[in-house]
Structure 1
Amino acid sequence: MGTDCCGWDGVTCDTMTGHVIAVDLSCSRLQGPIHPNTTLFSLRHLQRLNLAYNGFYPSEISSKFGGFANMTHLNLTDCDFAGNFPFEISHLSKLVSLDLSWNFGIIRIETPSLKRLVQNLTHLTELVLDVVNMSSVPPNSFMNFSSSLTSLSLRYCGLKGRFPDNIFHLPNLQLLDFPWSLLKNAGLTSLDLSGNNFIGQLPNLSTNWTQVSSSNSSSNSESVSQIPSKLLYLSLSQNLLNGTIPSWLYDIPSLQVLSLDNNQLTGQIGEFQHDSLRYLVLSNNNLHGHLPISIAKLVSLRYLGISFNNLSGSVEQNIFTKLKSLEQVDLSHNPLLSFHTYSYNIADYTLPKLQYLSLSSCNISEFPHFLKSTENLNSLDLSNNQINGSIPTWLLEVKMDSLDYLNLSYNSLARIGHLPWKNLQFLDLRSNLLEGPLPVPPLYTHFFSVSRNNLIGEIPLLICNLSSLQYLDMSYNHLSNMIPPCLGNFSNHLIDLDLQSNNLHGTIPSTFANGCYLRSLKLNGNQLEGSLPQSLVHCKKLEVLDFGNNKINGSFPLWLENLLKLQVLILRSNNFHGVIGNPKYKFPFPNLRIIDLSHNEFHGLLPTNFFKYLKAMKNSNADKGGLKYMGDRYYQDSVTVVIKGFFHDLVKIQSLFTTIDFSNNNFEGEIPKAIGELQSLKGLNFSHNNLSGHMPPSLENLTNLEWLDLSSNKLTVTKACGNDEGQQPPPSSTIQEDDFKFENGVHWKVVLLGYGVGFMFGLGLGYLVFSSGKPKWLVNIVYGGRHNKV
């Protein structure tokens, strides 16, 4: 390499003096702390230093970084630095660019250090502080930055409070005392404050100028000149901003990027006065009214995103006639919007660069005709519309080798035919009216859902050629015959397999091999028989096993307890029999949350040692941080459970939902005391067995219990409760994701206790919320009054 450092990679020297003036060690895989005595700090002529994308944890930013008197550019992005920001960096008076971003909140800047930066770095043009922890800094601390600043990025900094009207009040504009003074400065070209917690409204720059006491802005006619005429980029996304979009934002002649998504903005979208916009992102707000006509004039537009608003009216597809640069369009989830697809001359509105199109929930009744020219399309989402019939021939003839995502779910398609797009990876056809045999997707598909259609016949063996398949959902159809054994061979890459509610028969494939990658396997509601294949023990990632409502036989599969990630086990309504017995492993089923063994032929004592180790059911404070659901970004698990004697479909499974159902078997003996340790339990059903003895006092510890059914047993309770009929449960229904809100209380309780064989009563305690820890109804039953055998 040589001893002359000026020849080293990443080192630049002054050609006249030989001094090192620039060092670029970015992406060099450097690890460990930076010591104060490193030779780096002896390079006193250094002007540019780039250490980005290395790993210096747990090092702090050394105060010696402030000793580079000639430094103009300092880049420390994504370096894993920690600790407080050293105020010595404010000594770098020649600094033009400073980037401390993406150290993931480990760097902290306090108000005094920020004020020093503001006061001393008078030549600063670019400041990037994304993900720096500034939660203690009030927004008005950013006043008085130099007029040289052209680019400012403060994304995800923890800034909060009312959106500052006087942010960046420049020294030469202090007399104006007007909102967003920096934006009126011609120098600012980029501002990014997204991902914070700002509240309030965006200010209006073009009004009330006659009231400003300044000789330079005494007339209302000068209001237009004060609009930030050189602003190129403005992002305020992911805040809590409300009110309407101010009119001055529509009148910036240079603006190329406007991102206001994920706020609480209301009102209508105004008309844009200039055609400079390339990216317009207004998604996830409360905007209403029509799509502005001026959209059709934004000839430079590449990205249009206005999804998840309340837009209304009709959108003619010829609005895109002149938008030849469009690459991505997302108008989805505007419930009152109607996208008209009337045929026009195809030459008038070709979109040669379109790559992404999402018109989900736009009341579309046919495929948009401009798709005839979209040979570069890679993502098409027309889900949740009113498209019927079949995919038109003209669309199947479009050469779209780049198409890898196609979502036509929740329409009324009756036929699908052969799809010619060989690189398709994601194909969603669920909830249509498809008939006939199962369509086979292209070879490289990794997600294929055709659930809730009217498909018939057997699963074709051609499905075995899909060597990239990871998610396969063919549930709720009329498929028959046997499950191809090859689906078991897929287990080394298949993640979710859902074949429930068909007419499949025969045995379950026994070919699950070492390295099985299955996370979810659902075969509920078929005619499958035989025993469970023990090769499932190879599937160490399994979280959901649902074999309910089949004809499977055998003893309880104790070998499943070795699946440490298993959370849902449903064997309901089969021909299982025998005694459950003691666990074979030291800590069986540590993550099991839902278990349903009802309607089988199990007998013997309830498995005390089994209940002792249900660790996931013991933590009553689990998942209190917010709602979480089982599944991933492609596939979310659902399950059918019995609540208050009725079947309910949970279309999403909250990770804090816990229930045990051993009803309709032949269990005998007493209820184990270990049940009282399962403090997170929401539902418990031991009804229709031969249980006897007293209810254990430990049941008083079940403070999260929401329904308890012990009916049709031979139990002895400690207090007679009369012959109340109680409230009757509602009919069977589908429960949406927010129907269970367990964090702060209980919506309803139902208790069903056995009063002899075949006789039961219900005590309805509708919508009871406990103010204390113990459920009084259960305490009274367990401890109160005289003893009565029933």
Structure 2
Amino acid sequence: MASKIALVGILNILTLLHLFSEILPLHASKLNPNSCSVIERDALLKFKEDLDDSAGRLVSWVGDDCCKEWLGVECNQETGKVTKLDLRNPSDPFVVDLLTFQSSQLRGNLNPSLLELKSLEYLDLSLNNFENTPIPDFIGSLHSLTYLNLSLSSFVGLIPPNLGNLSNLVFLDLHAFILEFNNVFPIPNIWVSDLNWISQLPSLQYLNLGYVNLSLASDTWLHEVNKLPNSLHELHLPSCHLQNLPISLPVVNFSSIHVINLRDNNLTSSSIPQWLFSLCNLQTLVLSFNQISGELNDFVGGLSKCKNISLEVLRLSFNQLSGEIPNTLGNLKNLKHLALKNNFFSGSIPEPIEDLSNLEILVLSANKLNGTVPEFIGRLNKLVFMYLEDNYWEGVISDSHFLQLKNLKEFVFSSGNNPMVFNVSKDWVPPFSLQLLNISNCQMGSISNSKFPSWLQTQKDLVFLRLQNVGISDQIPDWFWELTPQLQVLDLSHNKLQGKLPKSLVFPIPRFSQVDLSFNQFDGPIPLWQGLSFLSLRNNLFSGPIPENIGQGLLGVGMNVLDLSWNSLNGSIPSSLTEMLNLKVVSISNNQLSGNIPPWENNLQQLLAIDLSGNNLLGSIPISLCSQLSLQILSFSNNNLTGKIPPCLGILSSSLRLIDMSRNHLEGEIPEEITSLSELRSLNLSWNQLTGKIPNQIERLEDLQTLDLSNNHLSGPIPAIISFMPLLNQLNLSNNDLSGQIPAINQLKPFNDPSIYEGNPKLCGPPLKISCSKSTKNDNGYGPKWFLWLSVVVGCLVVVGLLTACGGLIIKSSWRNAYFQFVDESKERISTSFNSMPLVLKGKKYWERL
């Protein structure tokens, strides 16, 4: 009996323990108000399940209490309710490298389990990658939110208007700049149907819809914003496709606003809007990259009527403002940042600028300013960034212009047509330590004594140095090369620098460091420098062979652009050149190289341009070039190449834009496959030994602008369609064995020059003076009725094509000059895109100065 009672007692105890284990979690928040509830914990775990967290950022989300040590989760200390969820990517994309940034991004879907967080006030999911999905509708039901940041997280589609239900919202950031490092100015792919919902957010203080397409609200955006009560402090609408900028408002409700950013919207206005004049609390105004015209006087004069002018930042760059910089600008005593780049301001820098004692950033670049640079600039002792380039300065820049600029970090200066001298004393010790120095198109020192500036020896923090076309005639001193460990950009091009370069140097950032020493008088062997993405030694006196290991290891791992053209290099092209897997442009033209072109067995997926012209290369064109599927420019002219043109070049139909194989010893027929190169703009096969006919399918080259087949042994008729190709504007078929009647010439085309056809004794008809006999009139297979029909049908296309071509790259009076200019400009555009990359990737703040 006793054993039965004991058994029953044990069972009762176990039952009570089971019930207790079930009940305890449900009342955990009552027993311990600082711990989160099971419901909220489970909601967060469901939210985590739908995320791809490859970086393990949420590895701490374990255990029962989400209020303790769960990354990004904060709770109310009294109730234990989750109030904050901060999952912003800790990596800054403008500081760390691309792979580091991407690897730390959260991906996946947003689970609506967040609706269980009834007290959630703060939600930040910015800088992640939700892979082109729309912002979920359930976000508009998180009614306790006061802070919402979904910026830079790859959301697309319509922004849900039910965000207007978040009546407690104080901060809203949906900034949608696309973080693609090969796309500097992305197209917004997220939009609104209207902005009516904005006016339903009565507590809103901060609004950022940057890069959201607001074109459907372009006519009403300002009126909707103006419906907000006087709580709005910051309004950020850059790159939103807004085009309408009302000149006036009956009443301005947001008079307490501190920041207005309407940058890059194509806003058109004949003047700066009058409603801005009354915003006496305004601290930052950004209207850069628009189409605002008029003068600055009225705006500055209007602000001057405020008792206390708060304006600290005025950015009006890249507009159409004109007139002189007003003297009243000196009334803006709090001004720290003045940017007027790329306008039409004229005259000199007014003296009242000296009164802007708080000025830190001064950007007056690319205007029509003239006269001397005033010495009072040197007394603006808080100045950090000074950009004065691309104006028409005259006179002398001396020590006095920098007298008190101890905080200066970046100085950019150049002058237009006027002679400008940058002449400081020999023993000058600058008060500053620069990070960026960019001086071009002026004279450093006297013409008779233009030495390498010795004061650079004091600049230990330099990252960017450009002294371009400044008349330096000297050798680079040994102490200068000690600066290279921190230099990312070095440009000493277009001077008279002499001597030999160090055999080996190491630059700091392998994928971005750039060196341009072109157009000087350096001699000796090509140096082997590590860590470069861009190297131009063009137009110097370098000699000897290209180093065999130039493309191996750290020497070539990050190289994008290599230009060794116009030197006296000899020997063969090293095969290691084809091992530079990141190479985009290679030019070793106009040297004395010999031997065969090495096989390009490696598929350099980014290779855009190869220029080996002007050498003594032998052998045939490697078929392996056909595997370079991104190739746009292929120039092998002025060599001793033999064999046939590879038909496989037709594989490059989606990329190849220029082919120049002129002045070689190529033979055989023009491959029919070349006519499949739909993107081809220029084809030069002149001065070879080509035979056969001009391919009949040549009309498939609809984008062709220049065609030179002269000085070969081509025979047969000229395809009639040539004179009707829409964009073709340069043609040379001279000195061949072509026969028959020259096709009827469309008078809108520049093909009525006899020199185009001379040296073909079997050709007849205008513009040649040789008349055609009846037996030769139809040698090309087309009769006069066909020409009449074709003229009517294609005539309109020709007009349109000519208008398009007039905006093209190669309309010049001379075919030869046009062609070579096209080659150089194409390479220059590609090179320049890489040359500006540090400002894009590392210099987000650079764009914030304009």
Q: TM-score range by the shorter chain?
A: 0.7 to 0.9
Partner of 2:37: none
> Displacement, 1:150?
3.3
1:680 corresponds to? 727
User: Does residue 336 of the first structure (1) align with residue 418 of the second (2)?
Assistant: yes
Quickly say closer, same or farther: Cα 1:109–1:168, change in 2 above 3 A. Answer: farther
Distance 2:473 2:517 in 1: 12
Q: Is the Cα–Cα contact under 8 Å of residues 163 and 201 in structure 1 kept in the other structure? A: no
Amino acid at match of 1:566: L
Range moving further from structure 2, 285-294 or 357-366: 285-294
Is 2:601 the counterpart of 1:513? yes
Match in the other structure for 1:16: 78
C-alpha distance in 2, partners of 1:739/1:345? 58
Which of the residues 631, 637, 649 maps onto 1:560? 649
What is the match of residue 418 of structure 1?
502
Q: Runs of 5+ in structure 2 lacking a partner?
A: 1-61, 90-103, 178-186, 258-271, 772-801, 816-850
The answer on whether the counterparts of 2:541 and 2:567 sit within 8 Å (CA) in structure 1 is yes
1:134 to 214, 230, 235: 214
CA contact (8 A) 2:727 2:805 kept: no
Residue of structure 2 equivalent to 1:189: 283
Q: Deviations over 1:539-592 (max 9, x none)?
A: 443322222222222233334334443322222122222334554x9x854433
Query: Could you tell me whether the CA contact under 8 Å between 2:549 and 2:574 is conserved in 1?
Result: no
The residue identity in structure 1 corresponding to 2:499 is R
CA distance in 2, matches of 1:703, 1:22: 70
- Would you say the 8 A contact 1:130–1:154 is kept in 2? yes
SS at match of 2:521: coil
AA at the equivalent of 1:153: H
Deviation of 1:329 (Å): 1.4
The alpha-carbon distance between structure 1 residues 170 and 338, as it changes in their structure 2 partners (threshold 3 A), is farther
Query: Which amino acid in the other structure matches residue 492 of structure 2?
Result: L
Alignment partner of 1:663 out of 692, 710, 732: 710
Shift of 1:407: 0.9
| 1:287-306 equivalences in 2 (<5 Å) | 287-306=369-388
SS in 1 for 2:634: strand
Report if the CA contact (8 A) 2:175-2:211 is conserved: yes
Higher mean displacement: 382-391 or 188-197: 188-197
Instruction: Give deviations 1:624-675, integer Å, cap 9, x for gaps.
Output: xxxxxxxxxxxxxxxxxxxxxxxxxxxxxxxxx6222211111112224564
Match for residue 531 of structure 1? 620
Tell me the CA shift for residue 206 of structure 1.
6.1
1:257: which partner in 2?
A: 337
SS of alignment partner, residue 649 of structure 2: helix
Query: How far, CA to CA, are the matches of 2:286 and 2:393 in structure 1?
Result: 26
2:152 alignment counterpart: 78
| 2:550 is the alignment partner of 1:476 | no
Asked if the contact 1:386–1:411 (Cα under 8 Å) also holds between the matched residues in 2, the reply is yes
How many Å separate the matches in 2 of 1:245 and 1:301?
A: 19
Matched residue, 2:841: none
Asked if residue 268 in structure 1 is aligned to residue 348 in structure 2, the reply is yes
State how 1:186-585 maps to structure 2 within 5 Å. 187-202=281-296, 204=298, 207=301, 223=305, 225-228=307-310, 231-270=311-350, 271-336=353-418, 338-343=420-425, 345-347=427-429, 349-352=430-433, 354-365=434-445, 366=450, 367-392=452-477, 395-396=480-481, 399-418=483-502, 422-423=506-507, 425-434=513-522, 436-440=523-527, 442-459=529-546, 463=550, 466-468=555-557, 469-479=559-569, 481-504=570-593, 506-516=594-604, 518-564=607-653, 565-580=655-670, 583=673
Contact residue 350 and residue 374 of structure 1 kept, 8 A: no
Counterpart selection for 2:189 from 75, 99, 106: 106
Q: Secondary structure at the match of 1:370?
A: helix
Deviation string for 1:360-419 (max 9, x for gaps)?
1133244444312111111110112211122245545x5452113211111122335438
- Kept in 2, the 8 Å contact 1:597–1:661? The answer is yes
Tell me the equivalent position of 2:204.
124
Task: In structure 1, list runs of 5 or more residues that go unmatched.
Answer: 210-221, 620-656, 725-737, 752-790
Superposed counterparts of 1:734-753, under 5 Å = 742-743=806-807
Question: Does the 8 Å contact 2:286/2:316 carry over to 1?
Answer: yes
| Cα pair 2:256 2:281 within 8 Å, conserved | no
Question: How many corresponding residue pairs?
Answer: 666
Query: Aligned to 1:598, what secondary structure does the other structure show?
Result: coil
Q: Which amino acid in structure 1 is aligned with residue 586 of structure 2?
A: L
The letter of the residue matching 1:448 is L
- TM-score, normalization by structure 1: 0.73
- Structure 1 or 2: more helix by fraction: 2
* Cα contact 1:548–1:572 (8 A) shared by 2: yes
Matching residue within 132, 145, 150 for 2:233: 150
2:46 is matched with which residue? none
TM-score, length basis structure 2: 0.69
Distance in 2 (CA, whole Å) between partners of 1:223 and 1:2 is 62
Residue 577 of structure 1: SS of its match in structure 2?
Answer: strand
- 1:460 is displaced (CA, Å) by 5.2
- In structure 2, do the counterparts of structure 1 residues 237 and 88 end up closer, same or farther at CA, with 3 Å as the change threshold? farther
Which residue number in structure 2 is paired with residue 651 of structure 1? none
Counterpart code for 1:298: L
Structure 1 pair 173/679, CA: closer, same or farther in 2 (3 Å)?
Answer: closer
Q: Distance in 2 between matches of 1:65 and 1:186?
A: 36
Q: SS at the partner of 2:468?
A: coil
User: Paired residue for 1:782?
Assistant: none
Q: Is the 8 A contact 2:465 2:489 kept in 1?
A: yes
1:204-236 per-position Cα deviation (integer Å, ceiling 9, x unaligned): 466479xxxxxxxxxxxx8462422xx443433
Superposed counterparts of 1:610-621, under 5 Å: 611=698, 614=700, 617-619=701-703
Residue type at the aligned position of 1:11: V
Of the three residues 232, 242, 251, the one matched with 1:159 is 242
The alpha-carbon deviation at position 248 of structure 1 amounts to 4.9
The separation in 2 between residues aligned to 1:357 and 1:739, in whole angstroms, is 42
Aligned CA distance change for structure 1 residues 335 and 102 (closer, same or farther; 3 Å): farther
